[in-house]
Amino acid sequence: MKHKDFVSIHDYSAQEIAEIFALAKEMKADRNKFSNALRGKTLGMIFEKSSTRTRVSFEVGMFQMGGHALFLSSRDIQLGRGETIYDSAKVLSRYLDGIMARTFAHKTVTELAEYASIPIINGLTDLLHPCQAMTDYFTAFEKFGDLRGRKLAYVGDGNNMAHSLMYGAPKVGMDIAVATPAGYGPDLEVLARAEEDARSAGTRLIVTRSIDEAVKDADVVETDVWTSMGQEAETAKREKDFSGWQVDKRLMSLARNDAVFMHCLPAHRGEEVSAEVIDSPQSVIYDEAENRLHVQKAIMHTLMAGRGR
Ligand code: CP
Ligand code: NVA
């Protein structure tokens, strides 16, 4: 594969995504098969924000492939005290074999990718969460097989999850409907690019204010928190603006009978989703969480195996 980095699903072709899924499936089936694939390699994990799944799954993933992962909190490294991204990228490239970064500004990750000579993997920015969206489509692929012609409904904030799901849908041949309250729609540049991707893939992308329209006949219904990391000051306003935007049993009844419910987690039961739905047999939240490990191992293997510094 020609890529150095994994920053956005938009940069990858449908064929490349399919290859990553095939590798993830193989890795999930036999954990030992790849136990030496990244022997002697080290992944640096830069975190400006909290994390459970991303931190643990990347660290365990490196360990399972014979490598090592290094947790680098921005509170402790000089990047957090104003050392430039340029110098940080150049210096870290001399020690590490790859970097996973979770940041506020998306630009921090794109600049790391530009200046580092080693692979940069986006572990979530304010704009995108590509590892999670990849995992969600992989989880849907496990459940349904061929995803072409199927529909994912995303209900809630037009945030990093919405954006990466919008980029991912055309790559796996799925239609996507995104329902958000007024004022919380997706980023217009992301929307324009995703529309272009959908046009060339022959899939549908709908952005609507109607949760019922979005969820009707969906195979996957997904939501996310109303207040993302970094938006805590807006919590009260968002709770008001999102009232009525809960994925509940009534809404799920509009989806197909065999539809699954997804949420990247962490979740707030009683806010964006009712406990009845997230804890129901339709919910695949823990499969999603597990699959972060397998999909990210496949991404790391694709970018880092066989790559000398
Ligand atoms: N879904 C997800 O990225 O979880 P963490 O914030 O725990 O990493
Ligand atoms: N949209 C959420 C996702 C958390 C994994 C956030 O950015 O906080």
Taking only the tens place, the pLDDT of each residue in 91-113 is 999 999 999 999 999 999 999 99
pLDDT at 241 over 90: yes
Instruction: Find the catalytic residue in 224, 246, 263, 294.
Output: 224
Global pTM value: 0.98
How far CA 110 is from CA of 18, 122, 187, 227, 307, in Å, comes to 24, 9, 17, 24, 21
For atom 6 of ligand 1, which residue has the closest CA?
Answer: 51
Q: Specify the residue for token string 């459940």.
A: 143
Tokens for 82, please give them: 């104003």
124 token code pair: 């979530």
Atom of ligand 2 nearest to the CA of 264: 5
Q: Write out the two tokens for 125.
A: 């920015």
Element (H, E) at 296: helix 285-304
Instruction: Kindly report, residue by residue over 185-213, the tens digit of the pLDDT.
Output: 999 999 999 999 999 999 999 999 999 99
Is 76 a residue of the active site?
A: no
- Domains of the chain, start order: 9-128+292-304 (3.40.50.1370), 132-289 (3.40.50.1370)
| Among the listed residues 288, 286, 263, 299, the one whose alpha carbon sits nearest the alpha carbon of residue 24 | 299
Give the pLDDT mean for 172-188: 98
Contact 20, 134 (CB under 8 A): yes
Contact between residue 68 and residue 96 where contact means Cβ atoms under 8 Å apart: no
Task: Give residue 309's pLDDT.
Answer: 53
Atom of ligand 2 nearest to the CA of 159: 1
C-alpha of 255 from chain center: 23
| 106 in active site | no
CA of 228 to the centre of ligand 2 (A): 5
E strands of 38-194, at which residues?
Answer: 42-47, 68-73, 98-102, 120-122, 151-155, 175-179
Mean pLDDT of 45-64: 98
pLDDT for 306 equals 80
Cα separation, 8 vs 17, whole angstroms: 11
Cross-strand bridge partners of residue 283: 261
Question: In this structure, are strands 120-122 and 175-179 parallel, antiparallel, or unpaired?
Answer: unpaired
**Phi, psi at residue 183, to the nearest 5°?**
90, -5
Tokens 């207040």 locate to 227
CA 48 to ligand 2 center in whole angstroms: 13
Residue among 151, 171, 273 nearest 213 (CA):
151
308 pLDDT band, cuts 50/70/90, is: low
Residue owning tokens 């996310």: 224
Q: What is the pLDDT of residue 307?
A: 77
Is 131 within 8 Å of 80 (Cβ atoms)?
A: no
Helix or strand holding residue 85 (H, E): helix 85-95
Task: Answer whether residue 40 shows pLDDT above 70.
Answer: yes
Closest residue to atom 3 of ligand 2, CA basis: 228
Q: What is the mean pLDDT of residues 154-172?
A: 99
C-alpha angle 232-238-242 in degrees, rounded to nearest 5: 145
- Which among 102, 238, 263, 301 is annotated as catalytic? 102
Q: How far apart are CA 66 and CA 34, in angstroms?
A: 8
Which of 64, 132, 246, 296 is flagged as catalytic?
Answer: 132
